[in-house]
Each structure stands twice: as structure tokens, then as C-alpha cells.
Amino acid sequence: MTITDETPETIDGAARVRQRGDNAAVLRLSEAEAAVIGSDATTPDDDERVLLNMGPSHPSTHGVLRLMLEMEGETVIRSKPVVGYLHTGMEKQAEQLTFLQGCTNVTRMDYASPFFTELAFSLATEKLLDIEVPERAVWIRMLMSELNRISSHLLFMATNGMDLGAVSMMIYGWREREEVLRFFEKVTGLRMNHNYIRPGGVAADLPDGWKGEIEALLELLPPRLEEYDVLMTGQPIWRERLQGVGTLNTDEALALSATGPILRSTGYAWDLRRDQPYLAYDEVDFDVIVGTYGDCYDRYAIRLNEVRESMRIVEQILDKMPSGDYRVQDKKVTPPPRIRIDQSMEALIHHFKIFTEGFKVPEGEAYACVESPRGELGIYMVSDGSSTPYRMHVRGPSFINVQTMPHLMRDSLIADAVAIISSVDPIMGEVDR
């Protein structure tokens, strides 16, 4: 795939997504204007376009996504995702919390894959602190990330199946995800919102018998994934419903800043784990899954096979997990072990300082990013030398991927719009933050 600078003025290039005005797929209409149109009591003619509201409380909009759809009969012409219903000002909140407390805040953004936001936050903080975490912490972080990718994609399988009428799939996906969450609970104490990955390492070492648990998990999952193949992948109904629906080409995906499965479904192999490796991803062996047609089916198949790749990575982590410390022994960053507090006045002071005032982070700015199940998740952090971030910005993959929806939906049926929302897999907690 070569990237050309000149955009061809045809429908093949990215010109389609650059359109403004009435021809654009994006409906650029304010809510006030929409309300005026909506208050028009006259019955529309048969060939007239009507404005249809979908959400924010709708079973297939994954939380509180609202869509304004301009319809011609049953065909969607233009559409506008309306977001912000879950906005809680987390970026503002982050400026009030210390770097140690920050993880409890960011972990609530993408609640289906909390480890990734924690990881990006920690990596950005460590970049500013200029510290290197011990080998074991790196591998524990990798293990938890990959297991989280599995659980997040299983959740996608469940909701995607439900949205498209394979209702039993919802129960199956949830069932397998629960097995992974059970392991998370054992390690971190919580099923979600873990606050486990922290600046300087992880909160606690892996519990006794963790290897056995993961081996059991790796044994349990493959036959279940085979079942999914029988239930969905090979099914003619499933294929009819998804193939050729909601297509996007590579130029358009790149132009729209799409990342993750949406970009890879167009046949463009870009995965930060392979292309800009962080943690120790350059020491494990895995494939980047790409699609061909950029349709809903490819996005489904990519996620299903990414579960298999993540299991491959987890297997390798089992063999390679190094021994050693699970956090950096820097008195200014990590709290001292409990036993030291009884013995040393200095340890007591450090402990007190870290939890009241927080540790100070040198002045500067940094951007750290990870490949989350939804695409590139980045944190841009500015520190002015105090113990709270001066500014923390999250590049949420869901927020940016929502932009692709009007382009995917253009000229498709409203029933396919449901499939498209599902295949973009937005997590509204991260879209709205």
C-alpha cells in the first residue's frame, strides 16, 4: 500500500469524506434547527426526506449515543452522531487529582478496557518522570492488557450478536468474558475500574496460582471460539447481514483519523504493538489481522481473530514472565512496603507525602499511546512541576471513530445502521469522558 499525496478527485480517494454542504454524508445540523424541523406538523410527502431521531436511550446504541438520521424512505442519506450525554469533565477532574490518583479517574473512561487507559496514563507519567519500570512489571502489564483485549472483544461479540439478532450470542459472549473478569478480580480485587497499573509499576504482584488460572482460561476459550464460528462466522444469515454493509476504503479511513479494527478492516496493516512497539511487544510473536473489504463482516472477523492472537501472546507471556520486583523502588514515586513504615521514620514520611501531597513530576509535556481494542489510545500530558497534571488530554479512539459512522451509513438501510453502530464498537464512557 503506497500513500499518495495527491487526492484523486474521484469517489475512490478520500474526496468523499471531505465534502461539505448538502452532498456530505455528515448532517451538520444543530439541535435547535432540528427541533424547528421536527415541530413542522405537516405530513411529509412520499418522496420527501424526513429527519429521524435515534437514541440516546436505544438498545442498539451502546449506551447513550444519539443519532440524527436524514431518511429517504428506509435509506439513510445523511446522519449526525450527537454525543456528550455521558460527559463528566474527566479531563478537568484530572487537573485536580494527583498523578497517583489519576489512574482511578482514567480507568473509568473506557470501562470495557480499563487497563489500557491506566497503562497510557502511567506511560505518559513515567515518560515525564523519566523512570523505567522493572521487567516483571512490564510483563504483568502486557499480560493484563492482552487479557483485557480478550474480554473487550468478547463483549463486542456479545453485543454485536445481540444487535443483529443472534440473541443467544449475547449470553455466550458475556459468559466467556466473565471468566476473564474473574481472573482480574483475583489479581486486582475488582472486576472493572481496577486502578491496578500505576505510575511506577503495578499495584500488586500476581497472586499464587495465577499460572494455573490462565492455563485453564486458555484451555476453555478455543473451543468456545469454535462455537462462535459455527454460530456466526459461517452462517449464511450472518454473512448476508454483514458482508458489504458499511464499507470504507483505506484512504477514507486514514483521512478520518480512524485507527484500530476500522483501519485494519480496510486492508491496512497498522498496529502499534508491531509498528511502534511499547512494553515488550517486540519480544513476542503475533500476527496483525487485516481485512479486505472494510465492511462490518471484516471488522467482526478481525476482532474474533484478535482474540486468538491475544491468546497466543498470553501463552508466550506465561513462558517468559520474569521474576523480580513488580514496581520501581523509587521512594519518591512508589509507597514503601508496609513493613518498612514500622521500622523507618523516613519511610513513614515518604508514605505520608505520597498519599497526601503526591509526588512531583518534572516540568514538560509528553504523549504516550497504546493500541487499545478500539485503536490508538493516547494521553497527552503537560506538567508544570507540581503533583497534579497541568493538563491531561485523552485521545480516545471511540470518540474519533464515531466520526466514521455517517460515512459508513451513507445510502444504507436503517436496519444496517444498527449493524454499523455495533461494528464501530464505541464505548460512550470514552467518547464523552
Partner 1 sequence: MSDETAAAEEAEAEAVAVDLRYGAAVSESRGDVVLHATVETYLEVCSEARADGFDQLIDLTAVDYLTYAGERTLPGGLTPERFEVVTSLISHVRRERIRIRTQVSADEPTIPSLFDLWPGSEYLEREAFDMFGITFADHPDMSRVLMPEDWVGHPLRKDYAVGAIPVQFKAASNER
Which spans of this chain sit near partner 1 (rule: CB under 8 A)? 3, 5, 14, 17-18, 20, 24, 26, 28, 30-32, 83-84, 87, 89, 91-92, 96, 127-128, 130, 254-259, 268, 270, 275-276, 363-367, 369, 376, 378, 380, 382, 384-386, 390-391, 393, 395, 399-400, 402-403, 432-433
Q: Which is nearer to partner 1, 26 or 52 (CB)?
A: 26
Q: Which is nearer to partner 1, 22 or 285 (CB)?
A: 22
3-class DSSP state of 285 = coil
The dihedral built from the CA positions of residue 132, 138, 360 and 347, taken in this order, carries a sign that is negative
Q: How far is the CB of 350 from partner 1 (least distance, A)?
A: 24
CA angle 93, 94, 95 (to 5 degrees): 90
| In contact, 375 and 397? CB cutoff 8 Å | yes
Q: How far is the CB of 345 from partner 1 (least distance, A)?
A: 30
d(CA 103, CA 190): 14
Which of 55, 54, 50, 56 shows the shortest CA–CA distance to 70? 50
Q: How far is the CB of 81 from partner 1 (least distance, A)?
A: 9
Cα 142 from chain centre: 16
Q: How far is the CB of 409 from partner 1 (least distance, A)?
A: 16
Q: Does an H or E element contain 50, and which?
A: strand 50-54
Q: Which is nearer to partner 1, 96 or 292 (CB)?
A: 96
Q: How far is the CB of 64 from partner 1 (least distance, A)?
A: 12
Residue type, 313: I
| In contact, 315 and 146? CB cutoff 8 Å | no
Q: Which is nearer to partner 1, 101 or 257 (CB)?
A: 257
Q: Which is nearer to partner 1, 62 or 241 (CB)?
A: 62
Q: How far is the CB of 199 from partner 1 (least distance, A)?
A: 14
Q: Which is nearer to partner 1, 242 or 361 (CB)?
A: 361
Cα 275 from chain centre: 18
- 92 burial level (CB within 10 Å; 0-12, 13-18, 19+): exposed
| In contact, 329 and 340? CB cutoff 8 Å | no
Q: Which is nearer to partner 1, 138 or 256 (CB)?
A: 256
315-352 residues labelled b (16+ CB within 10 A) or e (exposed): bbbeeebeeeebbbeebebbbbeeeebeeeeebeebbe
Cα 208 from chain centre: 30
Q: How far is the CB of 347 from partner 1 (least distance, A)?
A: 29
Q: How far is the CB of 127 from partner 1 (least distance, A)?
A: 5
Q: Which is nearer to partner 1, 54 or 83 (CB)?
A: 83
